[in-house]
Amino acid sequence: MTVLALVSIPGLAAEADTQRVRPQLTFRPVEPPYAVRTAFRTGVLKVRYWTWRRAMNTRVHHNYAMKRINRAGLGWRSTGNCVDKNRPTCTSLHAVRLGTLLKTIELKRMSGCRLIVTGGTETGHAAGVHSHGNGWKIDLAPNRCLDRYITRKLTPNGKRGDGSALYLSPEQDLFARESDHWDILFR
């Protein structure tokens, strides 16, 4: 049987440690970073494999949007109690922009108010590039908390053609107070 004993002499071991050369480590990314920061003030949202703009313009399915809304604590209401995009009495979030969805969730967090989605991408809204049907706008039920937050924190921006008061956020999102809901354009 062979026994191997390691013995270190205190003076020589300390001297050997000081003579070791530690390599300089530099980190260089091999590929571009996969995540980008959001414009939100709250922190970082990681979106993999896309640029921020492309991710924000990505359309999501109604079921995915509803899962995100429920997880964030937002409510949902439909006058027709349905989710069909082709019926104006339904409330559908099919093909809503991811940016619209995330900014709605962020509005809830920033305001601290209970938000209820009452309109999304269903037919029956005005047409246009930045419209409900294209996923840029969402309707929210008014309540005292939300009304107070929007009118106190955002900048008044005149009136729309139909007489609705307009408010502008620092991110250039446009809030219109219609008779029975808030019509919000998230850019």
Q: Which of 91, 88, 102, 89 is nearest to 60 (CA)?
A: 102
- Whether the CB-CB separation of 83 and 95 falls below 8 Å is answered with no
Pairing of strands 155-159, 116-119: unpaired
In a domain, 156, yes or no: yes
Name the residue range of residue 116's domain: 59-185
Low-confidence spans in the chain with pLDDT less than 50: 1-9, 12-17, 21-49
Q: Give the position of tokens 């703009």.
A: 53
Q: Tell me, what's the pLDDT at 97?
A: 93
In a domain, 77, yes or no: yes
Q: Tell me, what's the pLDDT at 52?
A: 63
- Report the SS3 class of residue 48: coil
Who contacts 9 (Cβ-Cβ below 8 Å, separation ≥6)?
none
In a domain, 46, yes or no: no
Q: Which of 53, 22, 50 is nearest to 35 (CA)?
A: 50
What is the rounded CA–CA span in Å between residue 175 and residue 187?
Answer: 11
Q: How many domains does the chain have?
A: 1
In a domain, 4, yes or no: no
In a domain, 136, yes or no: yes
b/e for 115-129, b at 16 or more Cβ within 10 A?
A: bbbbbbbbeebeeee
- Phi then psi for residue 27, to 5 deg, are -105, 120
What is the rounded CA–CA span in Å between residue 34 and residue 38?
Answer: 13
In a domain, 132, yes or no: yes
What is the rounded CA–CA span in Å between residue 96 and residue 43?
Answer: 23
Q: Tell me, what's the pLDDT at 4?
A: 46
Q: Mean pLDDT, the chain, as a whole number?
A: 77
Q: Tell me, what's the pLDDT at 8?
A: 46
